[in-house]
Amino acid sequence: MTRPIQFNNHPFRFLLYLEWILLASAALTAALPSHSYRFQTKFPELTICSLTLFGLMGLRLPTRNHITKIFYTAAEIFLILITGFFGGRTARLFPFLYVILVTRSCLIFQLPGRLVVTALSFILFLITFRKRFARIALSPASQERFLFFTLSFVLVFGLALLFVLLLMNAVISERQSREKLAIANEKLRQYALQIENQATLEERNRIAREIHDSLGHSLTALNLQLETGLKLWQSNPIKAQAFLAKAKELGSKALQDVRESVSTMRSHPLQEQSLEQAIASLAENVQRSTGVAPICQIHLSYVPVEISTAIYRIVQESFTNICKYAQATEIKLEITTTKNSLQLTISDNGIGFDLTQNTTGFGLQSMRDRTLALGGYFNINSAPGSGCKITATIPLYRSLLTPFGDS
């Protein structure tokens, strides 16, 4: 403990009640007159004051300064000795004061200090006991019985002190274990809240990324189809009607994406397609929207689902950005796999952009996050008027160690 043990924070308050009952009985015994001169209290006022002071000392036990603990214990022993030598018949109860002393020492000292106080209590008990009965004249037969009684009492009292010491150690250890467990449970609860908050934040980011990658792409393509249809409505109604039909198809897909994102139960976006087929569908949409057919070179061996999903989303986001901003006339995509990694390269000859002014876009950050989540390396190289080149390298073996699903 870091603060003194007082009544309001006493770990075993019932011990205080037991102490007060015992000390009140001893004080009452000292105050009552005795018919036997040998057991008459010599200084009842001194004995009562000693007992009262000894009881009041139990209301505040030092726990910090080691010197203070030693002086406190020495004062207790001094008061017990006064009671033992001058208490008269009250001294019959003085051995139990040593039990209180050992109990208090267990609350203020560590195990070595407790053992010292217990041993010292037993030694002082023997000295006081011998001093008190040294002048009693007995017959030889009575002396033998008295010696047997003395040895038995001393042995029982020594075992009682040892029992109190062991019992208090067990009770204090159990209480300390419960306090540590309570602290650990509180820390665990705080950690659980932090993990829950982190999981909630990650789930929100995931849903936001899903909406951006799927719905954003669909709405961008939809907008391009509508713009083209409006431009051709007067000059070529038949072709405009085809663009409007495609826009309706994209609108239905966007609505479906919204429902699936809100429910957070989407299956992976490849929808039982291979990665090559899914990317071919994206390339077809780009050609339909911009009139530029991406040049795709895909050489894949087996790729885990989580990596395929991430690659699909990166390609989808890259094509969306190219359609919206690049004004490119040439788009190249290359995906190759080696024994240990997959490399993706997407480049265009568009207007490019300044990296220092376009690093906070959600789409670019989404691509970077997906790559880094799989333990990969992501790089963007672009400059105004020089097009853009995106490179992502993902180790295949990490997919088993750090899964990153898109569901």
- Per-residue model confidence as pLDDT tens digits over 329-352: 999 999 999 888 999 999 999 998
Secondary structure in 3-state letters for 339-350: CCEEEEEEEECC
- Our CA dihedral for 140, 86, 24, 28, rounded to 10 degrees, sits at 80
Q: 3-state secondary structure string, 38-53?
A: CCCCCCHHHHHHHHHH
Distance CA 76, CA 53 (A): 9
Q: Please choose, from the candidates 107, 102, 108, the residue with its C-alpha nearest in 3D space to the C-alpha of residue 66.
A: 108
- 3-class DSSP state of 338: coil
Please determine, for residue 404, whether its predicted confidence score (pLDDT) is greater than 50: no
Is the entire prediction scored with pTM above 0.95? no
DSSP code at position 89: G
Least confident interval from 104-118, 190-204, 218-232, 348-362: 190-204
Beta pairing class for 295-299 and 331-337:
parallel
Q: How far apart are CA 273 and CA 311, in angstroms?
A: 14
What is the separation of C-alpha 338 from the centre of its chain, rounded to a whole number of angstroms?
Answer: 41
Q: Are 61 and 104 in contact (CB under 8 A)?
A: yes
Question: How buried is 214 (Cβ within 10 angstroms: 0-12 exposed, 13-18 middle, 19+ buried)?
Answer: buried
Q: If pLDDT is split at 50, 70 and 90, which confidence band does 143 have?
A: low
Residue 185 identity: N
Cβ-count burial of 185 within 10 angstroms (0-12 exposed, 13-18 middle, 19+ buried)? exposed
CA 154 to the chain's CA centroid: 52
Per-residue pLDDT averaged across 301-316, rounded? Answer: 87
Residue type, 1: M
How many whole angstroms from its chain centre is CA 8?
Answer: 30
Please write the tens of the pLDDT for every residue from 226-265. 888 888 888 888 888 888 888 888 787 777 667 655 644 4
Q: What is the pLDDT of residues 34-71, one digit of tens each?
A: 555 444 556 677 878 888 888 888 888 888 888 888 99
Q: What is the pLDDT of residue 392?
A: 95
Backbone angles phi, psi at 332, to 5 degrees: -125, 140
Tokens of 371: 């790559």
The Cα-based distances of 287 to 275, 280, 293 in angstroms read 18, 10, 5
For position 298, what pLDDT does the model report? 92
Looking at per-residue pLDDT, the higher value among 311 and 145 belongs to 311
SS3 content of the chain, % helix, strand, coil (to 5): 70, 10, 25
> What are the structural domain ranges in the chain?
5-189, 274-407
Q: Where does residue 207 rank: exposed (0-12), middle (13-18), buried (19+ CB within 10 A)?
A: middle
- CATH class as words, domain 274-407: alpha beta
Confidence of residue 279 (pLDDT cuts 50, 70, 90): very high
**Phi, psi (5° rounding) for residue 272?**
65, 10
Residue 188 pLDDT? 82
Count of CB atoms situated within 10 Å of the CB of 99: 19
Report the pLDDT averaged over residues 5-29: 80
Q: Which of 1, 52, 60 is nearest to 22 (CA)?
A: 52
Residue 399 has pLDDT above 60, yes or no: no
**CA atoms in the 13 A half-sphere facing the CB of 183:** 5
What average pLDDT score do residues 184-213 get? 74
Give residue for tokens 């000894």.
Answer: 54
**Span 185-195, average pLDDT:** 80
Q: What is the length of the chain?
A: 407
For the residues of 214-246, what is the DSSP string, one character each? Answer: IIIHHHHHHHHHHHHHHHHTTT-HHHHHHHHHH
Question: Could you report the per-residue pLDDT of 371-393, keeping only the tens digit for each?
Answer: 988 889 999 999 898 899 999 99
Mean pLDDT, range 136-146, rounded to an integer: 65
Quick check: 361 and 390 in contact, CB under 8 A?
no
The reported pLDDT for the residue numbered 390 is 95
